[in-house]
Structures are given as structure tokens and as C-alpha cells.
Structure 1
Amino acid sequence: MYQTAYHVVWCPKYRRRILTGDVAQTLGSLLAEICAERGYAVLTKEIQPDHIHLFLSFPPSESIANVVRVLKGATARKLFVAHPELKQTLWDGHLWSPSYYVGTAGNVSAEIIRKYIERTEHIKGRR
């Protein structure tokens, strides 16, 4: 049994505002699909036009670096196939910026992180 949850944030290359409409929908589905296949529990996620918040938990046998590598790599490949127009905006063949943020949370702070991410959904509607 494990309780660690991770708040991960990453951005498209050049912080392009490409995660909207059908691209955002496809990305959301891909993240859910990949996480389900790998046994990662998605606690909450929020896709903004220029970044992603993902709050997830996974077995301690996995490293966060590997989980992020898998998520970014698989989503990039599949998004370029599903939305070839992205290659016109991101001409060098990379969808994601190489960096990312990660923070850990146990039971006490997990709810705070979840509320923060969910609150961004309400703020997004005001932009």
C-alpha cells in the first residue's frame, strides 16, 4: 500500500497556447488511457492552454522521472498523429518543454492540491 501523490506540471515547447479545443480533449483522453494502462491513479487533472496540472498516484516501484517521461513521450507521439497541425506550430518535432515541476503530497496536503487544481478550472472560465 502507498499514499504518495504527485502534483506534476509541464508545458508545451515555447509555452505555446496549443492545448485548447480538440487538442485538449484528445490530451485528456490520452492521459486517462495511459494512466489506466499503467496503473497510475489520476486524482485530478486540469489542462490549460499553455500547461497541464496532473495530480496522480502510482506504485513506489516507479520513479517520478520515468512516469513523466512515459506520459510526455506517449502523449506527444499520439497527439502529433491525431493532430498533425501541431507540427506547424512546433516545427522542431518536440511537443513538450523538457522541464517539469513535481511536488509530493501525503494525505494531509493532497486535498489542498486537489482544490488548487480544481480552482484553476473556475478561474479559467473568467479569462
Structure 2
Amino acid sequence: MEIGQDDHIHLLVTAPPKISVTNIVRVLKGISARQLFLRFPELKSRYWKVKNRHLWSPGYFAESIGTTNQDAVAKYIDDQREKEKQLPE
């Protein structure tokens, strides 16, 4: 996992084909939001208790790496950190 530009994360997930991407994302968002709310209770007042605000955006981007080497994808994710450091704030 790599957290980028203060507003998104990159994940490399391995899962069997019978588990849908939608379910994986739903579980990851749900568990991580719950853990963050438990660890940082002040987030609840910023997100959860305010109508129509969510910790995570409703969308996501997912891509299958197919036959691409998993190490190459992991390197790509790591390289994003360096590229994002070079972006103007």
C-alpha cells in the first residue's frame, strides 16, 4: 500500500477470481474507515456525523494486472510516490 498526494492510496491486492472487485473495495473501505474512526474519534464529527459526508469517496479505480509481473506493478506503485513528490502543491 502507498498513500499518495494526501487524497488517495494505491493497493496491490491478490484475490481469487470468485471474489468480486466491488466486494474487495467495500470490505477494504469499511474496515479501514471503522479502524480510523476508532483510532481517531474526531474524524466521526468531520465525516460520519455530517450528512452526506463519507471518509471514502464512493468510486474507485481497479485494474487487473493480467500476465504482468507482480513485482513490476509493486515497483510502479512505489515510483508513484516519487512522481507525486515532484508535483507542485
TM-score with structure 2 length normalisation? Answer: 0.75
State yes or no: 1:123 paired with 2:79: no
1:47-66 matched pairs, under 5 angstroms: 47-48=3-4, 49-66=6-23
How many Å separate the matches in 2 of 1:79 and 1:103?
Answer: 26
The amino acid across from 1:102 in the alignment is A
The amino acid across from 1:57 in the alignment is T
Unaligned ranges ≥5, structure 2: none
State yes or no: 1:97 paired with 2:57: yes
How many Å separate the matches in 1 of 2:38 and 2:72?
Answer: 36
The alignment partner of 2:76 has SS state of helix
Aligned residues: 83
Classify 1:124/1:88 alpha carbon distance in 2 versus 1 (closer, same or farther; 3 Å): farther
The structure whose residues are more often strand, as a share, is 1
> Over aligned residue pairs, what C-alpha RMSD do you find?
2.1
The alignment-based identity, stated in percent, is 42
How many Å separate the matches in 2 of 1:109 and 1:47?
Answer: 22
The amino acid across from 1:85 in the alignment is E
The amino acid across from 1:75 in the alignment is S
Structure whose alpha-carbon radius of gyration is higher: 2
How many Å separate the matches in 2 of 1:52 and 1:125?
Answer: 14
How many Å separate the matches in 1 of 2:68 and 2:35?
Answer: 35
How many Å separate the matches in 1 of 2:67 and 2:78?
Answer: 17
TM-score with structure 1 length normalisation? Answer: 0.55
